[in-house]
Copies of this chain bind each other. A is one copy, B any other.
């Protein structure tokens, strides 16, 4: 018996990717996902989230191991610095999504890369959060992501790689174009 070798580019199993695309094309509801977390406040700026099972095309799937995400604020923002703060987590969400989107779409086009690194920086003016200046937004004023890519690619492929992440990343799309967020509260016993 001979095992079939999986064809992979950038570590992405191309056969499974094609199967996924064909399955979602044939049955659009298979592409409907729901991701979920549960967050628990600890004290001051400290809180933690458990990643909950997600829904993939109507099937509930549990992560293989428990995934816990911490958040805290540094001392200068009155916290105890036991974890990255929310806006640093936001940069990680963006970095990881742009990188993964680029890697997957590069694989689909047969473009192999060897190394990908990026640095991200976001500007925040605390006057927004502190309600000291109505013209200052509470959010990041701007975010810059600089990718550094190693691989046997042409200049044209490098430009294409740079555009793929931003073009396909769900987090990039969410951050740059906005999304509806409903917040509700109830009293617990």
Contact = CB atoms under 8 A, between A and B. Distances in A.
8 contacts: A10-B43, A36-B121, A45-B104, A64-B81, A144-B184, A147-B184, A148-B185, A149-B187
Contacts of A63: 74, 81, 84
Contacts of A129: 101, 168, 170
B78 A86 contact: no
Contact of A51 (B11, B17, B88, B143): B88
A96 B71 contact: yes
Interface of A: 8, 10-13, 16-17, 20-21, 24-25, 28, 30-41, 43-47, 49, 51-52, 54, 56, 61, 63-65, 67, 69, 71, 73-76, 78, 81-101, 103-104, 113, 115-133, 137-150, 153, 158-159, 161-162, 165-166, 168-189
B117 A35 contact: no
Contacts of A91: 35-37, 49
Given A37-B119, A86-B100, A140-B174, 11 more contacts: A11-B43, A30-B126, A35-B124, A38-B120, A39-B95, A39-B119, A41-B113, A67-B83, A86-B170, A129-B170, A148-B186
Contacts of A31: 125-127, 130, 132
A95 B132 contact: no
Contacts of A30: 126
A7 to B, nearest CB: 13
